[in-house]
Chain A
Amino acid sequence: MTAATLFQSALASLPEIVVITGACILLILGQFVRKGQEHILVWASIAIVLIAALATVMLANEVRPAYAGMFIADRFAVFFKFVFYLATVLTFLLSRKYADIEGIGTSEYYVLLLLALSGTMIMASATDLLSIYVGLELMVICTYVLTGFLRRERRSNEAALKYVILGAVSTGIFLYGVSLVYGLTGTTQLDGMAAAVTADPLDPGLLLAVVFIVAGLVFKVGAVPFHMWLPDVYEGAPTTITAFMSVGPKAAGFAVILRVFLNPLVAASDVWIIVAAIAVVTMALGSFVALVQDNFKRLLAYSSIAHAGFAIFGVAAGGADGIASVMLYLLIYAFMNLGIFGAVIMMRNGDFSGEVIEDYAGFAKAHPGLALLMLLYLFSLAGIPPTAGFFAKFYVLVALVEHGFVMLAIIAVLLSAIAAYFYIRIVMVIYMREPQRAFTPALTPLVGATLAVTAAGTIGIGLFPSWFLKLAQDSVLGG
């Protein structure tokens, strides 16, 4: 590798380098931050992400393959990186007060989040099964640790342990798929795989390999049948981490799935049937089990499973529209889901956990403005216009019908009618029940800013979806 290509490669991965270097510096400097000065950590972390975002924008105009075909900086990756930045910055904003209350506001917390972010970024840009693996592990190991960050709570420890064990199994499955691919084709590059396949008749072993790889990835997005870890981990993890996990790593998982599915190898086979089945079962399970949850975080975990199912419908639809629909869905989901998590995190104050749905009884009476925001996020999650959530679903349905999957579209809407029930049940508790006890939400300016940003996204994309739709469509074609 000459100096010039090395420079080109380094340039293409500049955002990742910024984040990782920033995280390392923060790790060292964090030791010198005195108690009561933790806000410096928040602002430094946000600054790192913003610099990375700036670097990403500067690189956005060109497609830059790097590191001998292991990595690529294209618009597809840029789109996803912005979803990750959004999720991370909002998580930082939400973390400040919450971390104080829980006593987890050490520098490691921020450093690990930054490293997890860099993992997701590598996943979005990876074009080789091994670089996908590196990104995946970087991200997932950081989230293992973050899940167990509430050291004094058994729930948190248990969640982390469960996550590590199941995560390791899924990684094993993924690696097995990778080794099969390497053994059969002699390459781990996604393009190379495609070339190997078009040369020969389709090898059933390769198909098996793809199934293993997909199974590993499906675990990360929490789709059936690899969803079992998700409710427990979501419930046990610190709520800010849950918020992050439900958006960032999930989107990263989808980024990789889409990259693999852009691949002719998959397009040529009938894998979409498996994908469609996964979508239906995932959405059905998420929707039905969410109906009976009393814990808000568990409910959101099942809601997140259901939403993953809906996004997978977009993958099953396939084609440029299908991919764009998934991307748009994830962007919109980032706004509305971080919004509702912001509201839940805000409820954590003093000895009040705000995790039980009943805690929200009569919330509208005491805090009409905040209740209205929650109403907005919940209706958006349910997919009612004019919120962004509706447009997200609409575009997935358009992609499905366009490719002739009308039955799948009908199943998707019927399941989302069921899913709507548990969202409006929360609205009902907030608006139509008498308050049980008085409480003050921890509405710091930072949390307020998060809620404002997410609300603006939720309503703004709903009313003016055009620009965001074009962005998603362009990002597909630019790849």
Chain B
Amino acid sequence: MGFPLLSLIIFTPVAGAAVLMFLRGEDAARWTALSFTVLDLALCIAMLVGFDTTTHAMQFTETRPWVPALGINYALGIDGISALFVFLTALLGSICVLASWVAIDRKVKEFMISLLSMQALMLGVFCALDLFLFYVFWEAMLIPMYLIIGVWGGEGRVYAAIKFFLYTLAGSLLFLIGVIVLYFYGGRTFDILALTEQDLPFRIQSWLFFAFLIAFAVKVPMVPVHTWLPDAHVQAPTAGSIILAGVLLKMGAYGFLRFSLPMLPEASIYYSTLMLALSGLAIVYGGLLALAQDDLKKLVAYSSISHMGFVTLGIFALNLRGLEGGILQMFNHGVTTGALFLFVGVIYERTHTRSIADYGGLMKVAPVYTTFLALFTLSSMALPGTNSFVGELLVLSGGFAANLVAGSAAVLGALLGAAYLLGMYGKVALGPASAGARLKIRDVNAREMTAILPLAVFVLWVGLYPKPFLDIIDASVKHLLTHVHSRGNGP
């Protein structure tokens, strides 16, 4: 066993949280949290540098017995798919600290502790190679997220927090039963890699597929179990929204990639049409809902439902372009929507309103803000040259190859996206400047720029030169695909 880099990555935020417990003073809390998240990001970059893109094998693996009586290990490791999300989590982690710098003005220390524990748990989810360990990380995230929404959120925070908690808990508990059933049918092991090598009977696969689907669909979220998301997003503080959109929603899709597809290949192929239909529904329905919103945050939240529909569409297209596009879209959505929530937060801090109707003509008073907003709006619309274009194109091409109707729904969704995003941008940034109070809005400051710039870089980098990102996932995706098709169609 080599250097425990992944453990270090997971436990750096924990160490930060521990240090924070003994600190006094709000600024000290902010700076400590920032230092630890930046350190964590540096470790993740080191991990990416050392990452071998030529193999689909798990890398940086660590295994220690945890509960030997049940075959539970503390097992970590990453392949190309996880590597991308480990990096995304760490990147958004530092940005979340920056985004909460002044927005969080009470119980700063406690907030930063919640944020850091959240980050550690999310990193754990992406690194876990043991189902039990995965579940522990996955479920434990409920605690800090519940507090982040419920303590530091907006007016209706309590309702939103409880709704978020119960939806996710009910879904996860069924997942837990699925995990235990899998344990018994899969040779009494929680080892994720060993379980992917099992050939389960189709009947069991079907049951497990739906048990997993409920859990993952709540997290993605897919229509019709999406209703917790707008509430949670609107009430959560900016950092909470960024985490939700940037990482938490990815976990459902990651669950499909890590468990449903490789462990239940027959069922995945068999039910792929259903999944494509649900994805198409989410794309169009989410888009229509977004079109009807006046609240900026709600608009971005509903657009997330639509965009995550693209992700699941790509995944269940079950071809190379679809899968690669879906995974890249997960990353892109984290960057772009994370940034959009950041922008909503920035303007909300200044005006304390999120109603689109209250804005107008921001271009004149905050040119830098609106310029960058334009970049991310265009990225969200998937304009060529931005990151989402690459991902969406791949998804569409994979989606059409898999199912014409689902592909057409996605195109319709893309059109709807253009409509609500351009409409939003037009009302917020262009036109005559609105009421006098708005004119006092200051443009983005240095701290906010620091948070925005890295995201902007990724929008353009992925948009113009996606190869390094596709390279990271390529080997793993190809292996996953061969695995699914070779086992799923049977001899």
Contact = CB atoms under 8 A, between A and B. Distances in A.
Contacts of B147: 431
Given A428-B150, A428-B161, A432-B157, A413 B166 contact: no
Contacts of A427: 146
- Per DSSP, are chain A's interface residues mostly helix, strand or loop, or mixed? helix
Contacts, number: 82
Contact of A428 (B110, B140, B158): B158
B347 interface: no
B69 interface: yes
B158 A386 contact: no
Nearest to B136: A385
B433 interface: no
Contact of A410 (B65, B166, B174, B184): B174
Contacts of B165: 420, 424
Interface string B170-186: 10011011001101100
B52 interface: no
Interface string A409-420: 110011011001
B87 to A, nearest CB: 25
Interface stretch (A76-84, A341-349, A466-474): A466-474
A421 B162 contact: yes
B68 A466 contact: yes
Interface string B364-378: 000000000000000
Given A417-B169, A420-B165, A465 B135 contact: no
A353 to B, nearest CB: 25
A469 B147 CA distance: 31
A272 interface: no
Contacts of A431: 147, 150-151
A398 B173 CA distance: 13
B139 interface: yes
Which of B69, B161, B166, B174 has the most C-beta atoms of chain A within 10 angstroms of its own C-beta?
A: B69
Contact of A432 (B142, B150, B169, B174): B150
A420 B166 contact: yes
B449 interface: no
Interface in A449-467: 465-466
Contacts of B357: none
A417 B162 contact: no
Which of B157, B177, B181 has the most C-beta atoms of chain A within 10 angstroms of its own C-beta?
A: B177
A414 B136 contact: no
Nearest to B159: A428
Interface string B40-77: 00000000000000000000000001111110000000
Interface of B: 65-70, 110, 135-136, 139-140, 142-143, 146-147, 150-151, 157-158, 161-162, 165-166, 169-170, 173-174, 176-177, 180-181, 183-184
- 6 pairs of A and B residues whose beta carbons are closest in the complex: A413-B173, A385-B136, A417-B170, A401-B180, A466-B67, A385-B140
28 contacts: A379-B143, A384-B139, A384-B142, A384-B169, A385-B139, A385-B140, A390-B136, A394-B176, A397-B180, A398-B70, A398-B180, A401-B183, A406-B177, A409-B177, A409-B180, A410-B174, A413-B176, A414-B174, A416-B173, A420-B165, A420-B166, A428-B162, A431-B147, A432-B157, A432-B161, A465-B67, A466-B66, A466-B68
Given A406-B181, A431-B147, 12 more contacts: A401-B177, A401-B180, A401-B184, A413-B177, A424-B162, A425-B162, A431-B151, A432-B150, A465-B67, A466-B68, A466-B69, A473-B69
